[in-house]
Amino acid sequence: MRKFFLLLTIIIFCGMNTALASEKIIFVPLDSRPITDRDTAMVGTKAGYEILVPPSDILGTESSQGDTEKLWAWLNENAPNADAAVISTDSMIYGSLVASRSHTLTNAEAQSKVMRFQKLHSDYPNLKIYAFGTVLRTLLTATHSAAGMEPASYQANAVKIYKYSALLDKSEMNVASKREIRELNRLEKDIDKEVMADWKNRHGINYNANLKLMDLTKEGVFSFLLLGGDDSARFSATHREARMIKDYANAKNIERTKFQMLSGADELGMMMLSRAILDMRGEVPFVHTIYNDGTGKDTLPSYCFETLGNEMKGAILALGAMEVPNPARADFALLINTAISGKTFEANSDKYNAKKANSSVKAFMNKVKDATDKGYPVILADISCSNGADNALMEAMRKANLQFKIRAYGGWNTATNTLGFLLGEGILTNY
Give the 3-state secondary structure of residue 43: helix
Model confidence at 16, in pLDDT bands (50, 70, 90)?
very low
Give the 3-state secondary structure of residue 18: coil
Asked whether the predicted pLDDT for residue 33 surpasses 70, the reply is yes
- The answer to whether residues 83 and 128 touch, using CB atoms and an 8 Å cutoff, is yes
Question: Which residue segment(s) compose the domain that 27 sits in?
Answer: 18-152+194-282
Give a yes or no: residue 183 inside a domain.
no
Residue 345 or 283, more confident:
283
**pLDDT, tens digit, 9 for 90 and up, residues 96-125:** 999 999 899 999 999 999 999 999 999 999
Give the 3-state secondary structure of residue 295: coil
Asked whether the predicted pLDDT for residue 94 surpasses 90, the reply is yes
Same domain, 243 and 340: no
Last residue in a domain, options 282, 315, 338: 282
CA distance 28 to 46: 18
Same domain, 303 and 217: no
Same domain, 64 and 204: yes
CA distance 241 to 264: 14
Model confidence at 146, in pLDDT bands (50, 70, 90)?
low
- Percent helix, strand and coil across the chain, each rounded to 5? 45, 15, 40
The 8-class DSSP code of residue 50 comes to: E
pLDDT at 143: 64
pLDDT at 257: 95
- Where residue 144 sits, what CATH number does that domain have? 3.40.50
Same domain, 400 and 327: yes
Asked whether the predicted pLDDT for residue 82 surpasses 60, the reply is yes
Give a yes or no: residue 134 inside a domain.
yes
Write the CB contacts of 63 (distance below 8 Å, at least 6 apart in sequence): 98, 146, 147, 148, 149
- The answer to whether residues 60 and 66 touch, using CB atoms and an 8 Å cutoff, is yes
Same domain, 215 and 348: no
- Residue 286 φ/ψ, nearest 5 degrees: -95, 130
- Give first-to-last CA distance, the chain, whole Å: 31
Same domain, 239 and 205: yes
Short-list 263, 262, 243, CA closest to 170 = 243
The total number of structural domains that make up the chain: 2
pLDDT at 344: 84
Average pLDDT taken over every residue of the chain = 92
Same domain, 203 and 332: no
CA distance 340 to 311: 18
Asked whether the predicted pLDDT for residue 162 surpasses 70, the reply is yes
Q: Which stretches of 166-251 are assigned E, i.e. beta strand?
A: 224-229
Give a yes or no: residue 114 inside a domain.
yes
- The answer to whether residues 423 and 319 touch, using CB atoms and an 8 Å cutoff, is yes
Short-list 389, 411, 386, CA closest to 302 = 386
Give a yes or no: residue 13 inside a domain.
no
Asked whether the predicted pLDDT for residue 415 surpasses 60, the reply is yes
